[in-house]
Structure 1
């Protein structure tokens, strides 16, 4: 039966939950989707999924473990490699659904999960098309752009203290995702991050929480999707890069795109990191839809 339904699936002991948009009653092409850093599915993933479904593409949308409707502890912790594995669990689950042709599965990701799909395209050959929107290309380079050099030693001391406290049985330390003052401690220290997360949570996603574990930031700095990009081929890759992106800086994403082999396509989006979800939604969603239609 076509339409959206709630789903849940077992990701090796943790239940992940989301939505399945059935575009057809017969086995058809399917896009697997999860959100970026700390975000939950209500933060415009439904809008992208609706565009895909209207074009005849099933869409499987899920909340990352430790966030939103999905289970997992500690809450508000992002382990990028666990999230990559959970995409793979979601692909496996999708293959059990009657509407899904398991040989026609693509992955879509944005921001942090835009980095995940670069890794996935390289390591999981079940995936037949990749769309990476405003991706994190290099955690270390990204932190180097966002955190002043003279402040990084302080972060390292905080990471080490948190590690010692956790070893002693303390709960993990937490840090805000965003702060109104970009100079205050936060995981995403940009003014547009504060505006988008707070406005979007108020309008669409009351379950979103403005905190992540400090260890989340440490793992971000260790994550290097760019090192996988050259291995995505021959799986087709579409990368959508925002010209004015300074959260996951455009030049880092373009460096990653340059390392990808054919078949590949680059679309430059107007505006900054978050415009793809709102003012630039049509410019972002239409090329993604068309890429999946062409390759799935």
Structure 2
């Protein structure tokens, strides 16, 4: 599928970069404008980690464009001046979705009245929030979403590790010493960081599951992904609760994709959140765990189901 590099400015003047995908037969700007699906990745992931596969599938099966971008501070996108890279602040990423929508509406290929949003894992939660507060959104696709940061954090972290994690949030962690992270940052010192994944589950990491380690370390060999996020990112995860807005997405159509054996964004939490969404809504259950819908035998069925939803609600 045709793809070109794009970049746009956020409302706080950060440059985000990504790709615009268009259908093969939509080469001329004189042709009719098409709907656009705005897509970004989850926790620390970059666009090369299968977002291109989804966008190519969507644009090869539908008269649709896809705007795919890296979250601020990750991949090709900039961080805000004076702020660290690899920091994940939910409210900023949610606002960036809205700025991406605004940018998409300016593109000559795009029908400004037909914008959908797609997110997965952490960004799967973001699209629940954005779909509720931004009425420009005409379809919401939320894949294996993190719906409740507090409950997810306390599922992922062993109870005997919680006190140590709380100390880390308060004190920070660097390679050389423990220091007061908030005070250090206020003095202009580098932000404390933590690995995203670690082979040893007894060591601190943001995503302490074996499937997370397998997924990210495999991609680390193939693209410019770095096994690092700020300690503050994990602290803010606990306060992130996009599901409190899920009942407000209606009347915008929602498709939630949930993995049956998800231990990273637990299946039961996602299903409980879905039960509070109002119509029109659709649920897709995938076999396997959190990452099984990205590639392999589940990808085709997953993407095909999302195509049907987009065809009915965004491309009709």
- TM bucket normalised to smaller: over 0.9
| Equivalent position of 1:221 in the other structure | 238
Asked which structure has the greater CA Rg, the reply is 2
How far apart in 2 are the matches of 1:149 and 1:290? 42
Q: SS of the counterpart of 2:163? A: helix
Q: Does 1:44 align with 2:86?
A: no
Residue pair 1:174, 1:214 contacting (<8 A) in 2 also: yes
Matches of 2:38 and 2:17, distance apart in 1: 13
Q: Distance in 2 between matches of 1:201 and 1:64?
A: 17
What residue number does 2:16 align with? 16
Aligned to 1:96: 106
Which deviates further from its counterpart, 158-167 or 131-140?
158-167
Aligned to 1:76: 86
What do residues 31-72 of structure 1 show as CA deviations (whole Å, max 9, x unaligned)? 000000000000000000001111221000000000000011
The equivalent residue for 2:174 is: none
Task: Give the length in aligned residue pairs.
Answer: 293
Unaligned runs of 5+ in 1: none
State whether structure 2 residue 197 is matched by structure 1 residue 178: yes
User: Does residue 167 in structure 1 map to residue 154 in structure 2?
Assistant: no
Equivalent positions of 1:123-272 (< 5 A) are: 123-161=133-171, 162-203=181-222, 205=223, 207-272=224-289
Structure 2 distance, partners of 1:212, 1:160, is: 16
The alpha-carbon deviation at position 74 of structure 1 amounts to: 1.0
Shift of 1:150: 2.6
Q: Give deviations 1:241-279, integer Å, cap 9, x for gaps.
A: 000110000111001100100000001001100011112
For 1:132 and 1:97, how far apart are their aligned partners in 2?
A: 24
Post-superposition shift, 1:87? 0.5
Q: Distance in 2 between matches of 1:171 and 1:111?
A: 28
Contact kept, 8 Å, 1:43 with 1:201, in 2: the verdict is no
Q: TM-score, normalised on structure 1?
A: 0.97
Residue 151 of structure 1: CA displacement? 1.8
Q: Could you give the per-residue CA deviations for residues 108-162 of structure 1, whole angstroms, max 9, x where no partner exists?
A: 0000000000001100000000000000010000001001223212212211122
Task: Name the SS of the counterpart of 1:277 in structure 2.
Answer: coil
Answer whether contact 2:36 2:67 (CA < 8 A) is retained: yes
CA distance in 2, matches of 1:198, 1:261: 38
Point out 4+ residue stretches in structure 1 off by more than 6 angstroms: none
1:167 is displaced (CA, Å) by: 2.4
Indicate conservation of the 8 Å contact 2:20/2:68, yes or no: yes
Using the TM superposition, give the Cα deviation of residue 166 of structure 1 relative to its aligned residue in structure 2, in angstroms.
1.7
Aligned-residue offset at 1:281: 0.8
CA distance in 2, matches of 1:63, 1:168: 29
What is the RMSD computed on CA atoms of the aligned residues? 1.1
- Report the Cα distance in structure 2 between the residues aligned to 1:35 and 1:291, rounded to whole angstroms: 20
Equivalent pair of 2:128/2:245 in contact (CA under 8 Å) = yes
